Amino acid sequence: MSKPVLATTSLAGCFGCHMSILDIDERILQLIELVEFNKSPVDDIKTFTKPVDIGIIEGGCCNSENVEVLRSFRKNCRILISLGECAIMGGLPALRNGIPIEECLHEAYIGGPTVQLNKSHILPNDDELPMLLDRVYPCHEIVKIDYFLPGCPPRADLIWEALVALITGDPMKLPYEVIKFD
């Protein structure tokens, strides 16, 4: 039987959850024995090249590109995992939820106390730029998510335990210390 295929992505996140994946330390050698990586920043494969078994999502959805990537993950992955607070509840980017988007952009590019160089008061408007959503959405409000691993970042032991349990079918060991929201 071939190895299960793993894909990961970071949407509106800080890559901290991916750093936490690397925090499994030398177990990463066991991980590459257990799974094969497909689309992921870890191996820099940019597009799906085969059907994926487990997709790991870091970050929530703050713009149209995030939604597109998330939907392509749902389409290509059998199992999707929301990894970390941002994927689960929007996280820090969601602090803007409830504030009108115009006010946010004005603060960031025109009226904010640290804005000095934008003399002509331009808001980013290039066609290449993804559109900001009205608010930041948790991933499970956009597509179906199968599992949730909380934490900011989720503890490396939690990620490891969850992945191994998912791949081997063994029960998960969850000591009190691994489930944290910060």
Partner 1 sequence: MSNLIKFKIDNKECMAEKGTYIVDAARENGIYIPTLCNMPGVKPKGSCRVCTVKINGRLMTSCTTPVADGMEIESSAAEIQDIRKSIIELIFVSGNHFCPSCEKSGSCELQALGYLYQMMVPRFPYDFPLRKVDASSPKIIKDQNRCIQCKRCIKTIKDEQGRSLFAFRNRGHRIEVVLDKELGLMMTEEMADLAMKNCPVGSILKKEKGFDIAIGRRKYDHEPIGSTIKL
Residue 161 interacts with partner 1 (CB under 8 A)?
no
Instruction: Output 44 or 177, the one with its CB closest to partner 1.
Output: 177
Assigned token pair, 87: 């994927």
Q: Which helix (H) or strand (E) holds 57?
A: strand 52-58
Assigned token pair, 135: 């608010």
* Closest of 10, 139, 151, 125 to residue 74, by C-alpha: 139
Assigned token pair, 58: 């870091």
Residue 120 interacts with partner 1 (CB under 8 A)?
no
The minimum distance between CB 141 and partner 1, in angstroms, equals: 7
The minimum distance between CB 117 and partner 1, in angstroms, equals: 28
Residue 140 interacts with partner 1 (CB under 8 A)?
yes
Residue 172 interacts with partner 1 (CB under 8 A)?
no
Q: Which helix (H) or strand (E) holds 30?
A: helix 27-34
Q: Is the dihedral of CA 44, 49, 50, 55 positive or negative?
A: positive
Pick one of 90, 155, 156, 159: the residue that binds partner 1 (CB under 8 A). Answer: 90
Instruction: Output 98 or 169, the one with its CB closest to partner 1.
Output: 98
Residue 148 interacts with partner 1 (CB under 8 A)?
yes
Pick one of 35, 54, 61, 88: the residue that binds partner 1 (CB under 8 A). Answer: 88
The minimum distance between CB 86 and partner 1, in angstroms, equals: 9
SS3 122: coil
Assigned token pair, 74: 């749902």
Eight-class DSSP state of 98: T
Q: Please name the residues in contact with 132: beta carbons below 8 A apart, sequence gap of 6 or more.
A: 62, 63, 101, 104, 105
Q: What residue ranges bind partner 1 (CB under 8 A)?
A: 82, 85, 88-92, 94-95, 97-99, 135, 138, 140-141, 145, 147-150, 152, 174, 176-177, 179-182
